[in-house]
Structure 1
Amino acid sequence: MHYIHIKNRSSHPQTFQCRSPYNGGKDLTIPANGEAKLEAADGTSGAIIAVHDGVIGEQCEITKSGWMGYDTIDISNICGAGGNMTCQQVGDPAGQYKGHELFMQACNDAWHKLPQDKKNKLNGFVFLDGKGNVKRIGAPKESQALEEFVRTFANGRTYIGVGAWGPSAGNPADNEQSKAGKGSKDILIVYSDGNAAPEPSKPFTGQAIQASAFNVLAAAPPSDIAVASVKATEATGPGILLTNHSAKKNTYFFYDNYWNGNGTEGNWKGPGN
């Protein structure tokens, strides 16, 4: 059995939504400077989501021992942010992780440099404290202006916008976040109002990903990329058995992240459910 280790490095209790099966799908509140340990069996998928003012924000999306037995984890801000969060497979070098360790500080700095006309476009999506500093942002998936703003300081560090979905190829920087890690291990999630790096004294050096990791993404519009036909090959391990019983050729899209690339939580149900 592997585990998810969650560290709350803030000076206040922090509540997280735990999407099934983690923690039985129940909310979890970790005290200031406290830790929690949750079971995370191979083959499971879910998310650990920070809650701010009753609204969900930054989150760690997890698939344990998925494709070829590799873990897939990322930090997503597609639904908002109010704190800093990082994640890594336990045992990875301290500087190799996903997420922006100072996301909110970078957001606040970028906000104060933003021209007033652009601030006006973010009305209702950027929330300030009594001193005029950013305390929380809404969901970039609901505002193109907000997505563009967040990309000015966090592009390539977190999942920000709507990724590959249907005819859209998504943003390359977002798609990179869905690359698999190295094998199946325990997962470390760090939350903080300050530096959320696994070891704050160690600078970010990059993501630790499996060299052979890849994304099966949606086909781009025909005007950009032609959809290729491929011949089925003999299966070499666990996977998806896809059979087309119709009388015509069909195109299928494969998605490799918990939010399905369109900003909605994955919620597949099989026949009869």
Structure 2
Amino acid sequence: MHSINIHNKSGHDQTFEVHGWTNNQNITVKAGQTSRIPAPDGSSGAIIALHEGHEGEQVEITKNGYGGNDFFDVSNIVGAGGNITAMQVGDQSTLKGDPHFMQDMNAAWHKASQDTRNQLKGFVFTNAQGKVTRIGPIKDSPQLEKLVRTFANGKAYVGVGAWNGNPGNPNDNAQSSAGHGNKDILITYNDGDASPDLASPKRDSRVAAFEVQRVQVAAAPPANGPGIILTNKSNKECTYFFYDNYWNGNGTAGANFDKPMKNVKLAAGAKSHIPLPTTFKGRVQRGTELPATWVEFQISASNDGAAHGDISLEQGCDGAATITSTDGTHRQNGFANDVLKHAPAAACAKKPDGTKAIATTVGNWASGPNQAAIDYLNKVVGQKKAYIVGGTGTDDVASKNKCLAVDMY
């Protein structure tokens, strides 16, 4: 039988409310110790940290669920007073949660306006020194949800997700992704860094090395180094934004909708090499508003070290785009024809600035898929050239030299 292991990295005993196991009896884990809860296949429940009797951060788990996989997520919707993460033992790619949630919350609170703080009275609790010690239920305060999303979006459940006909936030919905098979679960709690101890000092050194690499690349980018060669094929100046995913799994990703890594402004017809770290997995799009064409790519895939990319119209289309290898293989995908000019009104939606675009084909929080957009894009582009709906059928473009060429029309 597999187990749920709760490791308390803090310097004090910590009590957890247990739902679904231990006859629903609370469990107290001593400072620096790990407690084990047997978790039979098919069982479901939650481990919820308690703070002064109030429910806080929690891990929701289903053991050996659909397809023989564990399903688990970290949620802060009922509150928080500490930091918690969860992962399948031995598989750090399944790690979920913000290991510095309360520290990030404090930073956001101290940057917030007085008006925001006034609106959060009764939801954010501080000590005599002004430090946030606990927050109340995010699900009951849209203003608190808005603040928490500035730092924890895509790392844990912040809103209620898809529920009762509400489509929810896609970054919340993504938290319910499956683990990799049926394994022991490790929950790590701490007042400070709640990263699991399996993240050894050696791993931390690698992370530090990546950060150094990012700085060096930005300071002196090689002419044809890792990144993309971006060309503005439109007839006007455009600013392009690069979004690194919040997390990446086996065929899954936590799309980043609100925190671009960088942006670049290009005049009409201009071209520029945009250096990016080899860890980048995300997209580039025109501006920050949807609907928009996404050029999705990664710089160095784990299986072959090459750059890979494609075009996606699932979040809308505000113009054509192509992606091309630069390693001499001459692989290309995407489309260059103007699909906006003759798009039927039923397939279109205006961007926030009033410009015309083709609506999202998946819907997300935007009232559901637009079938007219799906039908029209299938006719004028086709799934082989760009993702119109999810799944398969869109050709991948790979470039062994970790550099792709992207033209945006």
- Counterpart position of 2:104: 106
- How far residue 225 of structure 1 moved from its aligned partner, in angstroms, is 3.2
Q: State how far apart, in whole Å, the 2-side matches of 1:197 and 1:124 are.
A: 30
Q: State how far apart, in whole Å, the 1-side matches of 2:41 and 2:175 are.
A: 20
- Counterpart position of 1:241: none
Letter in 2 for 1:151: R
- Which of 149, 160, 163 is 1:162 aligned to? 160
What is the number of residues matched between the two proteins? 220
Q: State how far apart, in whole Å, the 2-side matches of 1:79 and 1:222 are.
A: 25
CA contact (8 A) 2:46 2:60 kept: yes
- 1:148 has 2:146 as partner: yes
- Counterpart position of 1:10: 10
- 1:18-53 Cα offsets, whole Å, 9 max, x none, are 002x22210001111111001011101000000001
The 3 A distance-change label for structure 1 pair 34 and 166 is same
- How far residue 168 of structure 1 moved from its aligned partner, in angstroms, is 1.5
- 1:195-253 Cα offsets, whole Å, 9 max, x none, are 0001364468975745489xxxxx979963379xxxxxxxxxxxxxxxxxxxxxxxxxx
Letter in 2 for 1:118: T
Q: State how far apart, in whole Å, the 1-side matches of 2:34 and 2:246 are.
A: 25
- How far residue 144 of structure 1 moved from its aligned partner, in angstroms, is 0.5
Say which one has the larger Rg: 2
- Counterpart position of 1:49: 48
Over the residues paired in the alignment, what is the CA RMSD in angstroms? 2.4
- Counterpart position of 2:25: 26
- Counterpart position of 1:73: 72
- How far residue 139 of structure 1 moved from its aligned partner, in angstroms, is 0.6
- 1:98-153 Cα offsets, whole Å, 9 max, x none, are 00000000000110011101111100000001211000000110010011111011
- Counterpart position of 2:84: 85
User: Which aligned pairs between 1:109-258 and structure 2 lie closer than 5 A?
Assistant: 109-199=107-197, 201=201, 202=203, 209-211=249-251, 224-225=368-369
The 3 A distance-change label for structure 1 pair 223 and 83 is closer
Structure 2, unpaired ranges of 5+: 208-244, 254-362, 372-409
CA contact (8 A) 2:75 2:158 kept: yes
The 3 A distance-change label for structure 1 pair 12 and 195 is same
Q: State how far apart, in whole Å, the 1-side matches of 2:367 and 2:158 are.
A: 26
TM-score (norm 1): 0.75
The 3 A distance-change label for structure 1 pair 222 and 16 is closer
CA contact (8 A) 1:167 1:220 kept: no
The 3 A distance-change label for structure 1 pair 154 and 54 is same
CA contact (8 A) 1:168 1:220 kept: no
Q: State how far apart, in whole Å, the 1-side matches of 2:368 and 2:161 are.
A: 17
- Counterpart position of 1:271: none
- How far residue 16 of structure 1 moved from its aligned partner, in angstroms, is 0.1
CA contact (8 A) 2:6 2:187 kept: yes
Q: State how far apart, in whole Å, the 1-side matches of 2:41 and 2:249 are.
A: 18
- Counterpart position of 1:234: none
SS at match of 1:97: strand
Letter in 1 for 2:138: P
